[in-house]
Amino acid sequence: MSAGDIEHRSGRFITLEGGEGVGKTTNVTFVCDWLTARGIEVVRTREPGGTPGAEAIRELLLDPTREEAWSDDAELLLVFAARAQHLAERIRPALDRGAWVVCDRFTDATFAYQGGGRGVDLERIRTLETLVQNGLQPDLTLLLDVPLSVAAQRVAGRGAQLDRFERERDTFFEAVRATYRSRAEADARFAIIDASPSLERVQCAIAQCLEQRVAAWL
Ligand code: TMP
């Protein structure tokens, strides 16, 4: 077993997941602040991205102006190439020194977007997950869940240029949401947070979840 494996680390790994427009970025800040207030060293990061090389891959993945579409396999491999770099350069070193990592998306997004959305065979994703993560999994994953109609309004309200994923059809996002929900319902690592009410109520639910799940690790 290598030094980066899960058994050797002391920090905790928390991920936030959900479709577009669920409020992940704001709530990642909330989780980081909650942990920092309890004296924990927090490394905030995101996927795809989190290191200069992985951020360069992110650009390749999200750029809506590229004329050549990625094949499903190329997209899948790019996502995992970014993840391999992120794990090696940022996530594992942080966990190994005892810091907690809070990551905006991780491999559940690959199952939801490439698996559910694009229809890539889940076995192919599991094979790459095993290869790249070597047993490392988040300790806790908050799935922020909202109906598509609410999410679409929030994305439109941002007024920013849509990236390559945000331009997908409703059927794509329905499959993304369904995949996230079925993964979350099957695995105690997840907490499903209803992210449709006001931000204040959503953060109240997140704080309650952190009290229940994280307090035991402190
Ligand atoms: P976001 O982090 O700003 O939401 O954008 C990242 C986009 O990348 C989002 O549309 C989901 C997509 N994505 C995948 O398709 N697969 C993945 O494994 C990850 C981490 C993200």
> Which residue has a Cα nearest atom 15 of ligand 1?
113
Residue 9: the pLDDT is 56
Query: Whose CA is closest to 31, among 133, 138, 117?
Result: 138
Fold of domain 13-217 = Rossmann fold (3.40.50)
- Residue 126's pLDDT is 98
Cα 166 to averaged position of ligand 1 atoms, centre (Å): 10
Helices (H), the chain: 24-36, 52-62, 72-86, 92-96, 107-109, 122-133, 148-158, 170-185, 199-214
pLDDT of residue 78: 98
The strand order across the sheet containing 42-46 reads 42-46, 100-104, 13-17, 140-145, 190-194
Low-confidence ranges of the chain (pLDDT < 70): 1-9
Residue 118 token pair: 């694009």
Question: Can you say whether the dihedral through the CA atoms of 158, 138, 49, 170 is positive or negative?
Answer: negative
- Residue 44 token pair: 């905030």
Protein residue closest via CA to atom 6 of ligand 1: 48
So what's the pLDDT on residue 6?
A: 46
Convert the pLDDT of each residue in 14-33 to its tens digit.
999 999 888 999 999 999 99
Q: Give the pLDDT of residue 153.
A: 85
> How far, in Å, from the CA of 60 to the mean position of ligand 1?
12
Q: What type of residue is 172? A: F
So what's the pLDDT on residue 159?
A: 79
How many beta carbons lie within 10 A of that of residue 76, not counting itself? 21
Mutate which of 113, 132, 180 for ligand 1 pocket (most atoms within 8 A of beta carbon): 113
Position 187 scores a pLDDT of 97
Pocket around ligand 1: residues whose beta carbon is below 6 Å from it?
A: 46-48, 79, 104-105, 109-110, 113-114, 165
- The reply to whether the predicted model has a pTM over 0.75 is yes
Domain ranges of the chain: 13-217
